[in-house]
Amino acid sequence: MDFERLGAPDENKGKILKMEDYPPFDSERAKKAVDDVKEKMTQSPVEHEEMETEREVFAGDAIFTDIDGTLTDNSGRIDPENADRLREFMDGGGTFVPVTGRARFESVRGIVERLDLPFIIINNGAEIFNRDGEHIYESVIPDEQVHEAFAIAEQNGLTWMQNKRDLEGKEYLFSNFTEESEAAMKEVGIKDTVRNEEGRIGLSAKQATAEEVMAIPGQNYKIQMMSPNPEAVQRAYDEFQRLGIPCMLNMQSEKTGKFHWVEVIKGTKHDTIQRLIDMALPDVKEVITMGDGGNDISMLKAEYRDGNGNPVENFSLAVRNASESVMDSVKAATLDRYNSPMADPTKESFGIAVARTVDYLENKHKMDDVLAERKKIYERARKIGLVLPEIAPWSDYQKAVGF
């Protein structure tokens, strides 16, 4: 994305810009500038075809966003403005796909149906479902790695919970949590524990040992392990890395500044977003990712490609409630590469950030349309020998249209 094209003053280069640094796009004023040129062209006896063409405003745009704390607020509510703008976005040819750590399709079915979504990615990238609840992709942890993971958890004194689906398709949430371990996690500032997970995915946790869980035939999508001691979590993570067991750190506490979860999971949000693009969105032109947690970092930092392997324009956005590590990943992923007006990760509060992103895309496409039409008009004028005065230097033109 060209920094100057966005109309920011030169002295702002390299800074994190706030949205107020970019005045709302005034489509009427911008269109008037083009119409003034068109009027001059009508003075020529040479006929010319209409320059404007009909197209879907958001064709080629894809937004991938976390759910809890990004698409929804802390109560799980989707702001009506978010919902309305998302429908307009999808009606205009855009694709919207939530990417969540929630472990069951049933826990997100209401969102899929309310917004009529084509796809949803759950389990932190381990599964993709379509709008009918059909499983179109999964990535499971091999049994031998599950055994190794539980052994490492025991060595480091980690408590755990695991989502599992048996051979008949029945889903379970198993855990070795106790009331004491729940209280210890809350003491260090981690609210997302087994009780929170029960409410989020709609399953009651069954108390179990690791041996009991491993004895049940079925599919293992992820194991969430945690401790009030961040050093124990880091030791387990390092051992998983050494053994080649896929995992990621999550749940950074504002109180300690440390990660208190390590998740064993095969696949990431980023990997599965790219897989979905390859499978169903080969013509994507711009990818926007949004999140607030440690499990979002991979998708926020990533580069994406279209179905032919070509890099596409993309930027990422963290909402205001994001942890420090997430904020840092977004700055690295957006500011230096694109200098996007959405690059200030502290600007957007959760609940309305998606709507603001759709606003940005709409304004960007309006400017693109004005630029394209202006270019065509001047090219046509040159072909017919009509000399048109320059409207203004491009920087002045940007200021004139309020962008």
The domain that holds 284 is classified in CATH as 3.40.50.1000
In a domain, 40, yes or no: no
* Torsion over CA: 281, 286, 292, 297 (sign): positive
Domain match, 91 and 147 both: no
In a domain, 240, yes or no: yes
Range of the domain at 191: 143-265
Quick one: pLDDT at residue 69? 80
Domain match, 283 and 221 both: no
User: What digits encode the pLDDT tens for the residues 70-117?
Assistant: 888 767 788 888 888 899 999 999 999 999 988 889 889 999 999 999
Average pLDDT, stretch 281-307?
A: 90
**Could you give the CA distance from residue 172 to residue 162 in angstroms, rounded to a whole number?**
8
Average pLDDT, stretch 334-349?
A: 37
In a domain, 322, yes or no: yes
Share of the chain above pLDDT 70, in %: 74
Domain match, 132 and 273 both: yes
Domain match, 297 and 338 both: yes
Residue 151 has pLDDT above 50, yes or no: yes
Domain match, 319 and 256 both: no
Residue 304 has pLDDT above 70, yes or no: yes
Domain match, 179 and 260 both: yes
Residue 258 has pLDDT above 80, yes or no: yes
**Could you give the CA distance from residue 265 to residue 125 in angstroms, rounded to a whole number?**
9
Count up the domains in the chain and report the number: 2
Q: Which residues contact 97 (CB under 8 A, 6 or more apart)?
A: 62, 63, 64, 65, 117, 118, 119, 120, 121, 273, 276
Rg from Cα positions in the chain:
25
**Could you give the CA distance from residue 366 to residue 375 in angstroms, rounded to a whole number?**
14
**What contacts 24+ positions apart, CB below 8 Å, involve 247-252?**
248/124, 248/294, 248/295, 248/297, 248/298, 249/294, 250/101, 250/224, 250/293, 250/294, 250/295, 251/190, 251/192, 251/226, 251/293, 251/294, 252/294, 252/323, 252/324, 252/325, 252/326
In a domain, 329, yes or no: yes
* Residue 258 belongs to domain with CATH number: 3.30.1240.10
Residues 163/123, Cβ–Cβ less than 8 Å: yes
In a domain, 81, yes or no: yes
In angstroms, the Cα distances linking 69 to 113, 321, 354, 393 are 20, 7, 11, 43
Domain match, 179 and 108 both: no
Domain match, 282 and 353 both: yes
Quick one: pLDDT at residue 310? 94
Domain match, 278 and 181 both: no
Domain match, 113 and 206 both: no
pTM across the whole model: 0.74
User: What digits encode the pLDDT tens for the residues 21-66?
Assistant: 434 444 555 556 556 555 655 554 444 444 444 568 899 999 999 9
In a domain, 53, yes or no: no
Domain match, 257 and 280 both: no
- What's the whole-number average pLDDT of the chain? 77
Euclidean distance between the first and the last CA atom of the chain, given in angstroms as a whole number: 15
Average pLDDT, stretch 292-302?
A: 86
In a domain, 337, yes or no: yes
Average pLDDT, stretch 147-170?
A: 90
Quick one: pLDDT at residue 271? 93
Residue 389 has pLDDT above 60, yes or no: no
**Could you give the CA distance from residue 53 to residue 118 in angstroms, rounded to a whole number?**
27
Domain match, 198 and 301 both: no
User: What digits encode the pLDDT tens for the residues 184-222?
Assistant: 998 998 877 777 777 777 778 888 899 988 888 888 888
Residue 296 has pLDDT above 50, yes or no: yes
Q: Which range, of 122-126, 223-227, 275-279, 393-397, averages the lowest pLDDT?
A: 393-397
